[in-house]
Amino acid sequence: MTVAVYIMTVTVNMPLKKSLHEAVAMNIPQISPQQIELFILILLRVSSIMIMIPIISNRQVPLRIKGGLSIIVAFLVMPFVQPVSFPLEMPVLIVTMIGEVAIGIIIGLVGRLLFAGVQLAGQLVGFQMGFAIVNVVDPLSSMQVSIIAQFQYLIAMLIFLAVNGHHIFLYAIAESFHAVPPLAFHFTGPLMDSLVGFSTNIFIIAVKIGAPVMAMLLFTSVSLGLVARTVPQINVFIVGFPLKIAVGLIGIGLTLPIFAEILGFAFVQFDGQIKALLGLM
């Protein structure tokens, strides 16, 4: 009797188990090799942008966070990217993969040029103040920079976050796949001219930020020269060194609103610059 019941139970449960396995197999998404290749191309572009984005590219940010954030953004962007046909030749595929990395590097490089201009302004001001030897190690580049340059760089990062500059880079990731689909990157002459034009922002921002303080220090040096000519008994070198430091620090404090306004305007314009850059690729 028990054997008959067992046989009946097995025969009844076999269709149920078979239907359950079929339902599970139907719910599992089928990933094709073309989708894997497309995800790899998307990940290459996204990860190269993440490596170049200010703040996220700092060495203090762990590599796991950068990699995990790149994978998450790549998964979110992938459904909106049109499938493409991949070349069968390995050399052509390698060149196209290098092109995806180049897109991310170019987008991130334009953003880092703004911060390079801030550091250049700080180095010029620090040199005029007499802080040419007072250097600290920059955690971003692992190089020694002026302490004034590092101070202004930290203020620039706060302004960058305050105006949601990091959102612009996330928007640039999504916009880049609409403007330049995978395997469609072309390095043209107008693109090179545009990059050279964007590199001039380093000197423009450095002059705009550092000009007021440098003018104050220049007038201080001229005044000390006049004092040295009229009153030779005064040791100008001993008096001028702390005086220039005081004038420089006061000038930096007074020009902080101008500093914030210039950088905020530059970060707001960065969105249009990225669109123009993507249109040339």
* Residues 6 or more apart whose Cβ sits within 8 Å of residue 81: 38, 42, 177, 181, 182
In our burial notation (b when 16+ CB lie closer than 10 A, e otherwise), range 27-50 reads: eeeeeeeeeebbbebbbbbbbbbb
Check pLDDT > 50 for residue 17.
no
Per-residue model confidence as pLDDT tens digits over 69-96 = 888 888 888 887 777 666 667 777 777 7
* Residues 6 or more apart whose Cβ sits within 8 Å of residue 180: 103, 278, 281
Check pLDDT > 50 for residue 218.
yes
**What are 139's two structure tokens?**
């955690």
Say what the pLDDT of residue 13 is: 44
Calculate mean pLDDT across residues 32-36.
72
The DSSP H or E segment spanning 146 is: strand 144-146
What SS3 class is residue 138? coil
Cα distance between residue 62 and residue 58, in whole Å: 9
pTM over 0.85: no
Q: Return the higher-pLDDT residue of 160 and 26.
A: 160
Cα distance between residue 201 and residue 100, in whole Å: 25
Check pLDDT > 70 for residue 15.
no
- 164-168, 204-208, 254-258: least confidently modelled range: 164-168
Check pLDDT > 70 for residue 141.
no
Cα distance between residue 162 and residue 107, in whole Å: 20
Per-residue model confidence as pLDDT tens digits over 192-217 = 887 887 787 788 888 888 888 888 88
